[in-house]
Structure 1
Amino acid sequence: MSALGTVEQWTDSLGRPSLRRLDGTTECPECGKEVQLWAETVEWTEDGKPSDYGPPEGICCGLLLMDDGEFLQCFVLPVFDERSCRKCGCTDDCACPGGCWWVGEDLCSACAGEALDLA
């Protein structure tokens, strides 16, 4: 991955991702899709949805980067009114790498498995 400049990682008061991204696109090293790098901060509404925007048509994930620009993980940005996992943000149309299924109204099998691994 080429140098992407400064990327800041934020979380809100509830620990949800709130990211400021760079303009442009790059290939996600995890899922291989061309992804948009955001140049805005994600704000969250009281019902847990991102406010005032949705990801561009056809782009279902972005990159969550550490401050030094190294790849950390693929992060799915949920679209309004679409079922999404409360932990990772995957949706019906954009599952976790390797696949997942719903084990609860807002929890996917990949994240439920992580919780079981920690127990």
Structure 2
Amino acid sequence: MRIGKVYYQDKLAGHITATDHGEYLFQYTPEYVQSSPDLFLTFSMPVRREPYIERHLFPFFEGLIPEGWLLEMAIQKWNLKRNDSMGLLLACCQNCIGAVSIHPLIQEENEL
């Protein structure tokens, strides 16, 4: 399982998770739901308490991953596979253009 912290304008908005079962989950934090109910990441994912669950990476997050020659550089630099969407998201999207950034959540070994 790999998890990324999702920030909106430098405020923790939620977590995106790639599960060991091949699903992707995104869930806004309870604090964000309470304090920023109108500041959604994308129209397709309004702020709510329930998680969003998909079999593929959500299109909004897929759109943050670089393309073309920049994607090729990222694949080589971090030794990732082209189809590793979550790996690319966690490696490349910590300093995106725009209001959203994704930072890997480092888990302690005893949590894994």
Shorter-chain-normalised TM-score: which range?
Answer: under 0.3
The structure showing larger relative contact order (alpha-carbon pairs under 8 Å, at least 6 residues apart) is: 2
Looking at secondary structure, tell me which structure has more helix per residue. 2
Give the TM-score taking structure 1 as reference length.
Answer: 0.23
